Structure 1
Amino acid sequence: MAAFSSDGSSERDIELDTAALRVLAHPLRLNVLTLLRERGPSTATRVAEELGINPGAASYHLRRLASGGLIVDEPGRGTGRERWWKSVHRQSIHDPAAAPDEQREAGRAYTQAVAVAAADRLRRAAQEVALLPQEWLDATAYSDFLLHLTPDDVDRMRTEIFEVVCRYRHGASEAPEGSAPVVLQVQAFPVPGAALSPAGEA
């Protein structure tokens, strides 16, 4: 399985190291980073308004992201009291299957945070369904499928899906006319409780 945070507008992807995984093991912090990647540079005040949190919390999470090398000051903007921040990378990538042993714990916490942040984004999208233009509603998909698969089956399917997604990725400057930023969530996980060891077993 791979956990990917959302796509954005800068030019590079980053393979997360242990330190970055620990910084991003927080759903709200992931949402702050996602906002900068989707909407461009912003301030703590603007981030707070968008995410419905207080400016102090937004400022704290921005500083933590900066300490992990994930965001930087936007040159030439802001004042002594107001800093503008921008994402350094287009996308954060972590593949637990390829991660070294020392990343396992941090990678698990990050993956959990990604899942929580994705659920929050889905909740916010659901609140806007009634307001969507019909052409976007017609193209929108909220689907799930019950499959009986092995871990290897899931890994192969995930790889095939990601290959399709890559064919549709455009930079912001290459986006076709009439396009809008679209979030495609790819989630493949065992039915809750189905893959856990029975109580008392390792």
Structure 2
Amino acid sequence: MADDVALDPRTLRGLAHPLRVRMLNLLRERGPSTASKLAERLGQSSGATSYHLRQLAAYGFVEEDPDRGTARERWWRATHRRTTLDAATSREAGGAEGYLRAVASADFQRVEAAINELPGMPEPWQDAFHLATEQPRLSPAQAIELRRQIKTLIEQYAATAPADAARVSVQWQILPAPEAGA
């Protein structure tokens, strides 16, 4: 599996649907799956997930897993670990808003699921749970540098994960906030 796939105006259309973003996330996080298994996990029909898997494949985000499956059962896997969207592509592509809304929706659902499961989590994971909003005043250049440093820090932790490490979701956004009274 390749690390990153950079979206372009054509491939952006392939992810401008919330269900496709959720399905791709599941394939990346939990590994290969079938349309039926994804449908069950997402509360969808297998027809819908099958259709969206074929669309994801047409845009190069998933592929059939040749090591699994039978003549009756098709297994799919993600082709990349992460999706990136640079600012220039976002500005020029008409589907960027749909994709960004789909990602935001998937992230919100992930937060909701974690909050729902929080009471049953082991105490160390309850202690590690964190949800906060900071609103520093930054220039655009500082915001870009902050983004770079946060990504580097996450990559450093991922590269040195101990044997008892578990998958976590680190969500962060840099959202320009309108000034009060402006």
TM-score (norm 1): 0.80
Please provide the CA RMSD for this pair: 2.1
Q: In the alignment, which of 170, 176, 180 is matched to residue 190 of structure 1?
A: 176
How far the C-alpha of 1:176 sits from its partner, in A, is 2.5
TM superposition shift of 1:175: 4.8
Alignment partner of 1:152 is 2:138? no
The structure 2 residue matched to 1:48, chosen from 36, 39, 49, is 39
For residues 24 and 81 of structure 1, what CA distance do their matches in structure 2 show?
27
TM-score (norm 2): 0.88
Partner of 2:151: 162
- After TM superposition, give the deviation of residue 146 of structure 1 in Å: 2.6
Describe the superposition over 1:49-102 as per-residue Cα deviations: whole angstroms up to 9, x where unpaired.
112222111111111101111111110422233210011111111111x43854
SS in 2 for 1:65: helix
Higher helix share: 2
**1:63 corresponds to 2:64:** no
> Residue 167 of structure 2: which of 160, 178, 181 is its match?
181
Q: Identity of aligned pairs, percent? A: 41
**AA of the residue aligned to 2:89:** A
Amino acid at match of 1:155: I
1:108 is matched with 97
**Inter-CA distance 33–100: structure 2 relative to 1 (3 Å threshold):** closer
SS at 1:146 equivalent = coil
Post-superposition shift, 1:147? Answer: 2.6
Structure 2: distance between partners of 1:101 and 1:140: 34
Unaligned runs of 5+ in 1: 1-9
User: Structure 1 counterpart of 2:176, which letter?
Assistant: P
Deviation sequence 1:16-39 (CA, Å, 0-9, x none): 122221111122211100101111
Indicate how the Cα distance of structure 1 residues 157 and 76 shifts in structure 2: closer, same or farther if over 3 A, else same: closer
- Any conservation in 1 of the 2:11–2:59 contact (CA below 8 Å)? yes
Residues 15 and 129 of structure 1, relative CA distance in 2, 3 Å threshold: same
Pair 1:130-2:119 in alignment:
yes
Q: Which runs of 5+ in 2 are unaligned?
A: none
Inter-partner Cα distance in structure 2 for 1:122 and 1:13: 24
Q: Which deviates further from its counterpart, 105-114 or 159-168?
A: 105-114
CA–CA distance in structure 2, aligned partners of residues 129 and 101 of structure 1? 38
Aligned length: 180
Q: 1:140 aligned to 2:126?
A: no
Q: Which amino acid aligns with 1:60?
A: Y
Aligned to 2:89: 99
